[in-house]
């Protein structure tokens, strides 16, 4: 997959070459502008950028993970998301999706990294095991630690796709037998954007790449390093079951008619009130569904340490109810004042936020129930 012949093309040229019409292109930029959270007035700017800017090469590496992030990515309902990114925009190297394998694949990667040194985006999927010198994840005889360091050296920025590379993921679950860590535990000198979720939403992944391509800079991040436009709200804030939560209508069991009828899943363990993600507003398969809509409570898969937060089907609080004002950012600011610069800030922020929200939940929930009984 040498990119030397492709690298000078603009996004638009690549799309047209693929056989899409200009109308398809405009539809795509309109769609992505909305997904990126911009006003309709920004469509022109995004379209122009896609027409005129050279594609940004992306190197996508895989470590300890289940490949669900790639699965989610290629299943975007919009044809151009997959086509554009996979075939034409930028995926110069991705072990899972590229046609080449073995030495050919490695050569393609080395070539792309050399030609685009300092300019490519590195996407990392999966955590990195540190224990026993990293032997628990090796590719072609090299450890994930080595490969990550080499790939990161020439990257303009790193996107950590999925909760594994963002937070450590399921393999970091207690007692974390292989010593799995997220990317920012190893790479300290590059901008890192977290795109968590297990897996993340396809259009969120594409949207982050497109934001960078369009504006030449990283999107605004929250205090945990996630793009605000996609992680600025809790699942609870955009959940279609929210009116039932507010009305105090909760499903008591999975097989109940109430659960089918859209009653709130809070009592069945839903972590939506403490999870920041765009599932409720974007969803998968062109917004057709997301876990809660499919009948299962949110397990907080976009949050740090969610994997140790089980049992998932038991509610964490006595009574549900959450104010909708706080954001991950305001929570982060409070904590940063206490322990600025420490890696532990992220975990603390989440825990403090959760505790605060739990208290609010109890108060608000009690009021809910009182109102209902009155
Ligand atoms: Fe992790 Fe991605 Fe979860 Fe899986 O690879 S975020 S285990 S969906 O796929 O990294
Ligand atoms: Fe939706 Fe869960 Fe909030 Fe209920 S608690 S409204 S199911 S996010
Ligand atoms: Fe994950 Fe919860 Fe969304 S489990 S996919 S953050 S609904």
Q: Where residue 268 sits, what CATH number does that domain have? A: 4.10.480.10
For 13-39, write each residue's pLDDT tens digit. Answer: 877 887 888 988 888 888 878 877 788
Ligand nearest to the CA of 72: 1
Cα–Cα distance list, 31 to 50, 86, 203 (Å): 13, 18, 10
DSSP 192: E
d(CA 348, CA 338): 10
Q: Is 68 in the pocket of ligand 1 (CB under 6 A)?
A: yes
Per-residue confidence (pLDDT) for residue 347, from 0 to 100: 32
Rounded distance from Cα 180 to ligand 2 centre (Å): 31
As for ligand 3, residues whose beta carbon falls within 6 Å of it are 197, 235, 275, 277, 279, 290-292, 298-302
The answer to whether the pTM exceeds 0.85 is no
Per-residue confidence (pLDDT) for residue 73, from 0 to 100: 82
Do 184 and 253 belong together in one domain?
A: no
Q: Is the pLDDT of residue 310 over 60?
A: yes
**Domain housing 61:** 57-207+216-231
For 265-302, write each residue's pLDDT tens digit. Answer: 999 999 999 999 999 998 887 788 999 999 999 999 99
Degrees to nearest 5, angle at CA 283 with 318 and 309: 35
Radius of gyration of the chain (CA): 21
Is 145 part of any domain? Answer: yes
Rounded distance from Cα 61 to ligand 3 centre (Å): 24
Q: Is 201 in the pocket of ligand 1 (CB under 6 A)?
A: no
Is 144 part of any domain? Answer: yes
Name the domain count of the chain.
2
d(CA 314, CA 323): 21
- Of 58, 65, 130, 127, which is closest to residue 94 (Cα–Cα)? 58
Do 284 and 310 belong together in one domain?
A: yes
Ligand nearest to the CA of 258: 2
For 167-195, write each residue's pLDDT tens digit. Answer: 999 999 999 999 999 999 999 999 999 99
CA of residue 42 relative to chain centroid, distance? 23
Is 179 part of any domain? Answer: yes
For 332-355, write each residue's pLDDT tens digit. Answer: 333 322 222 222 233 333 334 433
Q: Is 299 in the pocket of ligand 2 (CB under 6 A)?
A: no
């Amino acid at each position: 997959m040498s990119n030397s012949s492709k690298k000078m093309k603009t996004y638009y040229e690549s799309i047209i070459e693929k056989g899409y019409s200009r109308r398809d292109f405009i539809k795509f930029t309109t769609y992505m502008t909305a997904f990126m959270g911009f006003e309709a007035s920004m469509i022109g700017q995004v379209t122009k950028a896609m027409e005129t800017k050279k594609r940004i090469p992306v190197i996508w590496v895989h470590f300890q993970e289940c490949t669900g992030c790639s699965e989610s990515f290629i299943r975007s309902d919009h044809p151009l998301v997959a086509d554009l990114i996979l075939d034409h925009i930028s995926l110069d190297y991705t072990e899972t999706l590229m046609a080449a394998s073995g030495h050919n694949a490695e050569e393609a990667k080395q070539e792309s990294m050399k030609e685009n040194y300092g300019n490519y985006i590195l996407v990392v999927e999966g955590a990195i095991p540190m224990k026993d010198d990293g032997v628990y994840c090796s590719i072609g005889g090299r450890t994930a630690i080595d490969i990550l360091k080499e790939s990161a050296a020439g990257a303009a920025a790193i996107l950590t796709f999925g909760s594994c590379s963002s937070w450590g993921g399921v393999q970091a679950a207690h007692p974390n037998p292989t010593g799995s860590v997220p990317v920012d535990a190893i790479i300290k000198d590059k901008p890192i954007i977290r795109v968590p979720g297990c897996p993340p939403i396809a259009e969120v992944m594409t949207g982050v790449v497109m934001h960078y391509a369009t504006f030449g800079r990283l999107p605004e991040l929250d205090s945990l390093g996630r793009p605000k436009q996609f992680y600025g709200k809790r699942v609870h804030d955009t959940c279609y079951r929210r009116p039932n939560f507010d009305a105090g209508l909760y499903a008591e069991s999975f097989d109940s008619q109430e659960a089918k009828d859209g009653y709130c899943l809070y009592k069945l363990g839903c972590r939506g009130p403490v999870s920041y993600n765009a599932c409720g507003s974007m969803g998968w398969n062109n917004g057709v569904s997301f876990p809660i809509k499919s009948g299962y409570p949110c397990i907080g898969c976009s949050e740090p340490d969610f994997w140790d937060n089980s049992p998932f089907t038991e509610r964490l609080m006595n009574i549900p109810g959450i104010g909708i004002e706080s954001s991950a950012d305001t929570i982060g600011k409070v904590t940063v004042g206490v322990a600025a610069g420490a890696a532990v800030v992220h975990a603390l922020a989440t825990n403090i936020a959760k505790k605060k929200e739990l208290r609010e939940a109890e108060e608000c929930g009690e009021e809910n129930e009182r109102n209902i009984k009155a």
